[in-house]
Chain A
Amino acid sequence: MIEEKDVREICESILLRCKGNPVEITLQYTDSSLTRFANNIIHQNVAERDGEVTLRYMIGKQIGTASTNRMDKAGLDELVVRAKSNAKTIPEDPNYPGLPDPVTYQRVAAWDATTADYSPEKRARAVGTVCQLAVEKSLNASGAFTTGSDVLVVANSNGVFTYHTRSYADFQTVVMSDDSSGRSQESAWNVDDLNVEGLGKEAIETAVCGQHPRKIDPGEYTVILEHYATEDLINSLNFYGMGAQALQEGRSWMNDRLGKQVMSRNVSIWDDGLDTNGSPLPFDFEGVPKQRVDIVKQGIVMGPVYDRYSGAKMGKPSTGHATPIVFRGFGPLALNLFMAPGDVTVQEMIASTKSGLYINRFWYTRLVHPRECAMTGMTRDGVFKIEDGEVAYPVKNLRFTMPYVQALANVEAVGKASHLLVSEFGGISVRVPGLKIKGFNFTGSTV
């Protein structure tokens, strides 16, 4: 891990090269390892060490951007030349709000040295345990065990300097028989919080119970969603409408719904970059401290998250949700989401269901229509028919086409346990419970 004083030196050397011109510097370092397994053996096993600096150079409201992972003198010299050249070429952006000023931001603990330096042997032995359990049941285990660390620094010519270190661990496995599969996953910033063997047993149990699935007709069903499926609901609503830019462009599910009760009263969703129950990040990619933002409160749509650009357009301050430069055109995003847990277990949800489906996860979900956040996708790795309050039999995977806003309006119960899942895409963390939803629309089934 690179120390704070060392990155401060790099930032200062870049500022010196920019000769007092307004600039923003983002530095990201990663030291990551991943052990991947399939067919009960390790088949891919990799490590990566990288670091990248991105420079935004401003000439008035002309903004040029350049990035490099060459941190030597020549690399940084060229970085400044490219960013400056781009700034000179680009026309003014009249909406550019300028750079933020320095403020005090809260530091949060998200670092564990053991996790950052976890050895390939330790990952292999954990993977081996899961593979052995699968072999004992004549099943086929696949998956990935990731450990590593990141450093994020944002600095600017106004004096902003932020530094955040994060360790991370994630274990996920899919266990298959000839005609069934189960999956489990858990993320943490401390590897000791992962129960790898328990996750393996969970996936194995789903795969064992899922053998000999029956084909059922598509149609509307009450569904009990494991937290893996809930993650897809919340992340999709995030991508397609929790940011202010989506709202400004009329493509958010929040459009025409602000302040209205559009979801069930037991649905509350918020973003909080300081909560260590998630994967915390105390500032955004403009160096603005993250605020807790209520997005949906007891079913009422409260509002989006902002970065400085989208906030300035709507006369609002940034809530600290600027994305990395490469995604900036997409607008602000919530990166540390939470959904309020409820008061029942998944077992109790099943027991209260006369007829329905238990679904472990969704797969390959894509937007069909933006305003309702209508999505299509498949079930995967465990679908079971529920009859008279009990799991009756496994069923073959189904395709759904469902407005996710409507899905959260139809929530009848929320699980009391919530789980942290960190997406590989952008490190978005989501802590979510299981859900019981009535009237979930299935439009097809697979072979």
Chain B
Amino acid sequence: MKELIMGALDLAKLRGAQYADVRVVNHREESLSVKDGIVEELSSSETEGVGVRVLVNGAWGFASSRNITKEEIDHITAQAVAIAHASGLVSGEKVDLGPKVTNRGTYQTPVQIDPTSVSLEDKLALLLNADTEMGKVKGVRTRQTHATTLKQHKYFANSEGAFTEQTIIETGGGIQATAVGGSEIQVRSYPNAFARQQVTGGWEAMLSWDLPGNGQRIASEAVALLTADPCPSNITTSLILGGSQLALQVHESCGHPTELDRVYGSEAAYAGTSFLTTEKLDTFHYGSPVVNLTADSVRPLGLGTFGWDDEGVPAQSSPLVRDGLFVGYLMSRETASKLGRFSNGCMRASGWNRIPIIRMVNVSLEPGTWTQDDLIADTEDGIFMDSNRSWSIDDKRYNFQFGTEIGYEIKNGKMGRMLRTCTYTGITPEFWNSCDAVCNADHWVMWGTPNCGKGQPSQVAHTGHGTAPARFRNVKVGVLK
């Protein structure tokens, strides 16, 4: 394989590329789904191929193919160079990648139980047990359980001397119960929204979530939500977000706006831009002093954890927000160079047939000092919400509106009645500046978001978000009308 890769790099240089990189990826995934006691899906998929990216006269070209043969790699290398020449017809400043990247080595996700070593029978038994437990609750209309495991093997090499080999292993799954009564439909999921928590790690993660042990609770909550009171309409109150919902809040209103390619307009036509423009760096109070956000690709279990990004930059940790002050971006070599900084390793491609673009790694809210019990006890009047049901945010990442599966009223420091169809809305910096308490490390969980869409052609990235519950003051809730 190394010979094929080096051959492509040599050919690219021969044809005039100032820079080239090659990725060869094999991705295997297994998916199991059970619905209402019937195994709806048991599938295994495999995709492999090679992508060649070149820089010619300061303009980019990329071509890819599923055929990993010398002839085909030569063909797509020549094609990538030709495409780069076409890019040069409508080009601006020459691309500057900054310092050379020459890292070499191997990396593999640490696992206790390799998912491929677990029999399909055992995997199905776990899901069917969870389905049975949910089925014990009267009134549930639809029960779903799901498991996904994947193993991705990847070579990366560039014309500057980098050569890395990585094996990433992920395990994910969850359960969901849907209850229907009249025109009301209520959903509960576990451990994460949409029945999909996912981590880098082995089957031990699935076992740790104890899906069967949570089946009856989740199903009962779905049924109870049918007759729960609706979220109060259009009031302003204190909002405590559970960790799962907060993870998506971080993803949408912290992760995306700190992507430097959005700031520079590269995603303007599709995903949008960002309000966190470069003059705000080191001066803008993104949040209150208890808000600390970090981008890392080294924390255990995170879906953004790896050895090197898809430009060969090593995994690392860097601050985005410190004590409320905005201090950092998610960067590539090209965008970091433009800003006068060094890449913090956030270039990721969803597969062999896509170019790397700036993606979240693990973007996490650092833990605070509160226990969850103390935080509730300290809240006179408010609402606790958790587990996402809908999410929407504008193209600059200012105005957002989220809905959650479940809520609870908080009165005089105690959790009270259950609330259905909970929604809240806000403007990102106002919202994060209203955060006055974050729970401590005992409540901090690394959540997985395996469905982050960005780019054209579209790419789906897997990102991690560590969070503990947090409180926000003066938030508008109940925004259905």
Partners in one complex: yes
Contacts of A41 in B (CB 8 A): 90-92
List A contacts of B46 (CB < 8 A). Answer: 66-70, 75, 78
**Which listed residue (A47, A51, A371, A425) contacts B185, Cβ 8 A?**
A371
Interface string of B171-192 (1 = CB under 8 A from A): 0000000101001110000000
Q: Chain A nearest CB: distance from B473 CB in Å? A: 19
Distance of A246 from chain B, by nearest CB (Å): 11
| B425 contacts A by Cβ under 8 Å | yes
Q: Say yes or no for B164: interface residue by CB 8 A criterion.
A: no
Asked if B42 lies at the interface with its beta carbon under 8 angstroms from chain A, I say yes
Residues of A bordering B, CB below 8 Å = 32-52, 63-70, 75, 78, 82, 85-86, 89-91, 93-95, 119-121, 123-125, 127-128, 131, 140, 142-144, 146, 172-174, 176, 183, 249-251, 255-256, 325, 328-329, 363-372, 374, 376-378, 380, 397, 399, 401, 424-425, 441, 443-447
A123 engages B63 (CB within 8 Å): no
Partner of B399 from the list A45, A172, A325, A445 (CB cut-off 8 Å) is A445
Q: How many Å from the CB of B390 to the closest CB on chain A?
A: 4
Contacts known (A39-B92, A121-B89); A401 close to B266, Cβ less than 8 A = no
If A67-B43, A376-B403 are given as contacts, then 7 extra A-B residue pairs at C-beta distance below 8 Å, sorted by A number, are A68-B45, A69-B49, A85-B120, A90-B124, A249-B178, A376-B423, A397-B394
B304-316 CB mask vs A (1 if < 8 Å, else 0) is 0000000000000
- Expressed in whole angstroms, the minimum distance between the Cβ of A198 and any Cβ of chain B is 17
Residues of A within 8 A of B391 (CB): 366
**Nearest CB of chain A from residue B144's CB, rounded to whole Å:** 9
Which of the residues A38, A75, A91 comes within 8 Å of B269, measured between beta carbons? A38
In this complex, what residue of B is CB-closest to A374? B480
CB <8 Å contact, A363 and B48: no
How close is A35's CB to chain B, nearest CB, in angstroms? 7
Contact among B48, B84, B121 for A45, CB-based, below 8 A: B84
Distance of A66 Cα from B31 Cα, bound (Å)? 10
- A38-B394 contact given A47-B62, A93-B39, CB 8 Å threshold: no
* Cβ-defined contact, B395 with A363, below 8 A: yes
- Tell me if B378 counts as interface (CB < 8 A to partner A): no
In the complex, A121→B357 CA distance in Å?
Answer: 23
The answer to whether B457 and A443 have CB atoms under 8 Å apart is no
Interface residues of B (CB under 8 A from A): 33, 35, 38-49, 59-67, 76, 79-80, 82-84, 86-87, 89-92, 120-121, 124, 141-142, 178, 180, 183-185, 264-270, 272, 275, 353-355, 357, 389-396, 398-399, 401, 403, 421, 423, 425, 427, 456-458, 479-481
Q: Is the CB of A443 within 8 A of B425?
A: yes
Check if A173 sits within 8 Å of B269, measured CB to CB: yes
Is B38's CB under 8 angstroms from A444's CB?
no
A202 to chain B, nearest CB (A): 14
Give the complex CA separation of A174 and B423 in angstroms. Answer: 31
Q: Give the shortest distance, in Å, between A231 (CB) and chain B (any CB).
A: 15
Question: Is B180 touching A251 in the complex (CB atoms < 8 A)?
Answer: yes
Q: List 26 A-B contacts (CB under 8 A).
A: A40-B90, A41-B92, A47-B62, A47-B83, A66-B45, A67-B44, A68-B45, A69-B49, A70-B48, A78-B46, A127-B90, A131-B90, A142-B265, A174-B269, A183-B269, A250-B180, A255-B183, A325-B43, A363-B394, A368-B421, A369-B480, A370-B185, A371-B183, A399-B392, A424-B458, A447-B396
In the bound complex, what is the Cα–Cα distance between A378 and B425 (angstroms)? Answer: 13
Q: Is the CB of B394 within 8 A of A446?
A: yes
Q: Nearest Cβ distance between residue B310 and chain A, in whole angstroms?
A: 14
Whether A249 pairs with B457 at a CB distance below 8 angstroms is no
- Cβ of A128 and Cβ of B90 under 8 Å apart? yes
- The answer to whether A51 touches B66 (Cβ under 8 A) is yes
Given A38-B268, A401-B481, CB of A376 within 8 Å of CB of B456: no
- A369 CB contact (under 8 Å) in B43, B421, B457: B421
CA separation between A218 and B225, bound complex, in Å?
30
Q: How far is the CA of A215 from the CA of B197 in the complex (A)?
A: 40
